[in-house]
Amino acid sequence: MKMRTLVGICLIVGSLPLWGGGAFIISQAIDEQNRQEVQRRVTETQCLRHLEGIPTAQVQNSGKLTVTVSPVAVPMDALATVSTAIMQCPTRDLVEMCLGDECDPTRKGVVSLVMKFDPTRGG
């Protein structure tokens, strides 16, 4: 057997563990993506449950979330509600927040809190 043939066979056989390692790394990356997707769905469900648990809240979910809390008795508590909602919903971005008596067009003169959330970009 020629020396070049022997070296070529050794290199091919030596590369097989590297191919196996590459396949293992790719399978782990795919598995991690699946775990992250499952975690995102669980987090989204927890977010919706939290928002629906806000007293006097009406949640509209059509891809974009709109949460209306009316009437608001203590505006400082409403700001705490917004902060908690942001923390409980990491899969959503707060794009609009209104606190006042002109936020809910169906209830003029009543202090209301309206929060609008969009899905997080890139996530």
pTM: 0.70
User: How far is CA 101 from each of CA 33, 65, 73, rounded to the nearest angstrom?
Assistant: 44, 21, 12
Chain segment 16-33, per-residue pLDDT in tens: 999 999 999 988 888 898
Domain count, the chain: 1
The residue range of the domain holding 30 is: 3-119
Check if the beta carbon of residue 52 is closer than 8 Å to that of residue 61: no
**Does the structure show a pLDDT above 90 at 123?**
no
Chain segment 31-62, per-residue pLDDT in tens: 898 998 999 999 999 999 999 999 989 999 88
Q: How far apart are CA 116 and CA 105, in angstroms?
A: 15
Q: Give kind and range of the element (H or E) at residue 66.
A: strand 64-69
